[in-house]
Amino acid sequence: MPAIIATILDSRVFGILARVVLTLVFWSSGLAKLFDFGANAAVMEGFGLYPGWLFNTATLILQIGGSLMIVFGRGVWLAAGALAVFTLLTIPIAHPFWAKEGEEAFRDMTVALEHVSLVGGLAIAAILWRKSA
């Protein structure tokens, strides 16, 4: 491995940046749920999750809280696990590609595959954090 790459990978700042990027999808979604609470509570109810305000609140706390835990290295295994379970649960609730047809099915299948890949990234983050502790 070239020395410059090793230096970057060993950098504390790069590690923090990587964790921010890994969790971007969660904390940005959590902030959107916070700043447009009513609309996002309605979205929850649209997925059959009642009361919407409760599911929206729990989701934004998980997304923002879990992201912060990973970024700041506190309970990374717990946060990564909780976000992974949440991410997998969104597939049958919000992206049931098997129940759709055509372009809509393809879009939801692509999102579902991206979700599974993200779970892999969260697992790697937890593994690496454990090895560094």
Looking at residue 133, its pLDDT comes to 72
**pLDDT per residue rounded down to tens, the chain (133 residues):** 999 999 999 999 999 999 999 999 999 999 999 999 999 999 999 999 999 999 999 999 999 999 999 999 999 999 999 999 999 999 999 999 999 999 999 999 999 999 999 999 999 999 999 988 7
Look at residue 2 in the predicted model and tell me its pLDDT.
96
- Total number of domains in the chain: 1
Asked if 87 and 42 count as a contact pair (C-beta separation under 8 A), the reply is: no
How confident is the model at residue 118, as a pLDDT?
A: 98
**Dist. CA 25–CA 27, nearest whole Å:** 6
**pLDDT of amino acid 105:** 98
- Domain residues for the domain of 110 are 3-132
Distances (CA, A) of 25 to 19, 31, 73, 118: 11, 10, 18, 10
